[in-house]
Amino acid sequence: MSEAKATARYRPETRLVHSGALRSQYGETSESIFLTQGFVYDSAEQCEARFKGEEQGFLYSRCSNPNVSMFERRMIDQEGAEAARATATGMAAVTTAILAPLKAGDHVVAAKALFGSCRYVVEDLLPRYGIQSTLVDGLDLDQWRRAMRPNTRTCFLESPTNPTLDVLDISAIAEIAHQGGARLVVDNVFATPIWQSPLSLGADVVVYSATKHIDGQGRCLGGIILSSESFIAEHIHNFMRQTGPSMSPFNAWVLLKGLETLGVRVKAQTESAAKIADVLARHPKVTRLIYPGRADHPQAETVKKQMRAGSTLIGFEVKGGKAGAFRCLNALKISRISNNLGDAKSLVTHPATTTHQRLPPEARAELGISEGFIRFSAGLEHADDLVEDFEQALEQV
């Protein structure tokens, strides 16, 4: 196996195509799939040396695999991290990044506005193991400061948030975390590696659901944790090796190929989202429109400071509450109803009855998830077709 030439000096688009590629003696153009559970050794001595870590190489695909390593390497280069571990799903990445370094008696502070399952991990799961957690309004820096305790080890946020697209000030929150002796973990799913680099803003750990834009064609689940060499070595590597939330080699191959087109897809999807957001903002049936690329976004200054562009996602509220939202969703002909996002196909979600249905109505109201609220994830269709589809669907509201 030979490794692709060093690509760190190239621009992101080039790195996303070439970084981390391993090529066999056959000189294949497209990376091969190493669909193997295990590996064989030339001698018992070599096997012993691998197990002792005295010789580099693969042991077993729960620990590492050539495709998983290629995917990790390409993401490390894109994100400006030192090390990474890929996981079976985005939730495996979030759960591992938060849980693996902690022990009973530790404390976590997190923003309230989280994807439903992330909120479950922080709010319900951690306390069962003696790890207390405090949820704060992520936009209110004083709440972050007040929530910090001497035993706070981890702060956690996503930005933009799912589904109301609040943009949290990552560098300010990183500073609060660091002053309190804690690390900041950022879920960067909604921003994508194309538009936001949390490590460069002061975050210590970045997590992704690779299921979303990184695959981008709705095929495979996956996740990844990116951080410093020491964080991955001390807290993540052994936990993953022993407990096994690892990525499958096939999924790693699909996601690696997904990275080759990530930049062009996310740019095209963001352009369409911006165009549709402008149309929705003027529409009489739309009572609220949130799009991080617009000047009227409530945190437009923070967007400018930490993101390179808007988003592939739009949040909007229609007249008529749940009935109005359902009429709009059911009338759309191109955008499909789904709880997923980041796909080549445009997708619409009703968060109150799907991703956030577990929350009591008061908690949803606090987050701005009303009954009429819809999340739209722009796909790769022509923007004018999507606009026309929304115009005809909103007539039904």
Ligand X SMILES: Cc1ncc(COP(=O)(O)O)c(C=O)c1O
Q: Which residues bind ligand X (CB under 6 A)?
A: 89-91, 94, 115, 118, 158, 162, 187, 189, 209, 211, 221, 223
SS (H, E, C) 41-72: CCCHHHHHHHHHCCCCCCCECCCCCHHHHHHH
* Choice between 201 and 393, CB closer to ligand X: 201
Nearest distance from residue 49's CB to ligand X, in Å?
36
The CB-of-257 to ligand X minimum distance in angstroms stands at 17
Pairwise CA distance, residues 154 & 288, whole Å: 34
Burial of 2 (0-12, 13-18, 19+ CB in 10 A): exposed
Which residue, chain included where needed, has tokens 């087109």?
261
- Omega before 361 cis (within 30°)? no
C-alpha to C-alpha distance for 391 and 397, rounded to whole angstroms: 10
List all residues 6 or more positions away from 146 whose beta carbon is below 8 Å from its beta carbon. Answer: none
Burial profile 289-309: b = 16 or more Cβ within 10 angstroms, e = fewer: bbbbbbeebebeebbeebbeb
**By C-beta, is 7 or 197 nearer to ligand X?**
197
User: Whose Cβ is closer to ligand X: residue 80's or residue 116's?
Assistant: 116
Between 189 and 314, CB nearer to ligand X = 189
- Nearest distance, CB of residue 168 and ligand X, angstroms: 13
What amino acid occupies position 324? G
With respect to ligand X, which residue has the nearer C-beta, 182 or 347?
347
- Judged by CB, which is closer to ligand X: 64, or 89? 89
Question: Closest approach of Cβ 294 to ligand X, in Å?
Answer: 21
Residue of closest CB approach to ligand X: 90
Q: To the nearest whole angstrom, how small is the minimum distance from the Cβ of residue 245 to ligand X?
A: 10
Q: How far is Cα 344 from Cα 184, in angstroms, rounded to an integer?
A: 31
Minimum gap (Å) between residue 187 Cβ and ligand X: 5
